[in-house]
Amino acid sequence: MTMKNILNKLQSGQKLDFDEFLFLLDNRDEYLANQLQSLAIKTRQKHFGNKVYLRGLIEFSNYCKNNCYYCGIRAGNANAKRYRLSKKQILDCCAFGYNVGYRTFVLQGGEDCFYSPDDIADIVKSIKQNYPDCAVTLSFGEHSKQVYQQWFDAGADRYLLRHETADKTHYEKLHPQNMSWQNRMACLQNLKDIGYQVGCGIMVGSPFQTNEHIAKDLVFMQNFKPHMVGIGPFIPHKATPFADKNAGNVDLNLFLLSLIRIILPDVLLPATTALGSLQSDGRERGIMAGANVCMPNLSPQEVRDKYSLYNNKLSSGAESAQQHEELKQKIENIGYQVVVSRGDHARFEKEGC
Ligand code: SAH
């Protein structure tokens, strides 16, 4: 196994195995990062030109029944100021977003049992009725296949559910015993079987993560072929068991964005809020590494601070849909173009779904 050999394989679109991914990770330096970045940029250019897609993120509830050790809105954080948005508030967010040019709304929340499956289906239906030219993405955690099907039938197009780690033992270090890695993975498969455009993903530098874990994640992504991948650095939250853990590494995050772009050439890949929160030009650097999606915050101003997954999470400036022009400008300044379109995955555009 030589580096030249691996790079040739990547260039010609061949799959890498676990050892080859691990070799790349173990030999990561600035030179290799630059090589992957150029290949990622070429790949993205071929599939998307210089287009960057926007998704309006509506964080509709920070109540959560789960107790993930890393997450600031975990049930066990008694200090979290909880909120949930009404259907009307959610629709108001969409109305604002639509006017600014968003054609995808992402409804993300903690696993809040207050909303019944019917409630969510009803919200999805109303958004699709009001904005038939828009896509609705849900990111609302683990549910039964039946419930996922109900939301799909109501009109939901996409679902984001990060797998968090492809290694069961690592998963168990990040989550309490009542959460299961098998169930997380089964949910992703169910979503795909139903017909959603599906997004998986990881936190870069999550506690106890090793290069072996990341190599496993890459093998998983390569085989699962998600339509979207969300990765961002882990950032500690002060009221969690991981308060004292180190944040993830921005350069590793950028390296992985490039690598994911190369192994999944037409994937929709956001430069995430976490990346922008850790470094002021993180979002731009993410795009330059191979990302092609930004997800500014559309939630009502007064609840923004409360969806606090980690310390110092950004929700203002170009991270906010209200400052749309600022974001557009920043993206144009680095040579890209914000487009007003649903931005579906190519496999779905062709099928006309
Ligand atoms: N309940 C939904 C949404 C969770 S929040 C779900 O289960 O999918 C969305 C993502 O934020 C999580 O999947 C996790 O990867 C990320 N996240 C949570 N806490 C974080 C932290 N401290 N640092 C960085 N990312 C975090």
Q: What is the pLDDT of residues 233-288, one digit of tens each?
A: 999 999 999 999 999 999 999 999 999 999 999 999 999 999 989 998 999 999 99
Spacing, Cα 203 to ligand 1 middle (Å):
8
Cα–Cα distance for residue pair 164/142, rounded to 1 Å: 13
Q: What is the CATH number of domain 16-350?
A: 3.20.20.70
- Measured from the Cα of 161, ligand 1's closest atom is 8
Question: How would you class 144 by CB atoms within 10 Å of its CB: exposed for 0-12, middle for 13-18, buried for 19 or more?
Answer: exposed
Spacing, Cα 249 to ligand 1 middle (Å):
17
Is the sign of the CA dihedral 147, 149, 150, 154 positive or negative? positive
Which residue in 167, 163, 176, 184 sits closest to 70, CA to CA?
A: 176
**Between helices 145-154 and 181-194, what is the axis angle to 10°?**
30
- Measured from the Cα of 202, ligand 1's closest atom is 15
For ligand 1, whether the C-beta of 203 sits within 6 Å is yes
**Residue from 58, 203, 246 whose mutation best tests the ligand 1 pocket (most atoms within 8 A of CB):** 203
DSSP 323: G
Provide the Cα torsion 31, 327, 110, 226; round to 10°.
Answer: -50
- Measured from the Cα of 309, ligand 1's closest atom is 19
Spacing, Cα 161 to ligand 1 middle (Å):
9
For ligand 1, whether the C-beta of 57 sits within 6 Å is no
Spacing, Cα 42 to ligand 1 middle (Å):
30
pLDDT at 353: 43
For ligand 1, whether the C-beta of 226 sits within 6 Å is no
Spacing, Cα 70 to ligand 1 middle (Å):
8
Cα–Cα distance for residue pair 145/142, rounded to 1 Å: 9
**Residue from 253, 309, 311, 314 whose mutation best tests the ligand 1 pocket (most atoms within 8 A of CB):** 309
State which residues of the chain have pLDDT below 70: 318, 350-353
For ligand 1, whether the C-beta of 139 sits within 6 Å is yes
For ligand 1, whether the C-beta of 200 sits within 6 Å is no
Rg of the chain on CA atoms, in Å = 19
Is the sign of the CA dihedral 12, 289, 235, 93 positive or negative? negative
Which residue in 74, 26, 239 sits closest to 3, CA to CA?
A: 26
Cα–Cα distance for residue pair 243/223, rounded to 1 Å: 34
β-bridge partners, 61: 84, 109
Spacing, Cα 309 to ligand 1 middle (Å):
7
Question: How would you class 297 by CB atoms within 10 Å of its CB: exposed for 0-12, middle for 13-18, buried for 19 or more?
Answer: buried
Answer yes or no: are the C-beta atoms of 80 and 308 closer than 8 Å: yes
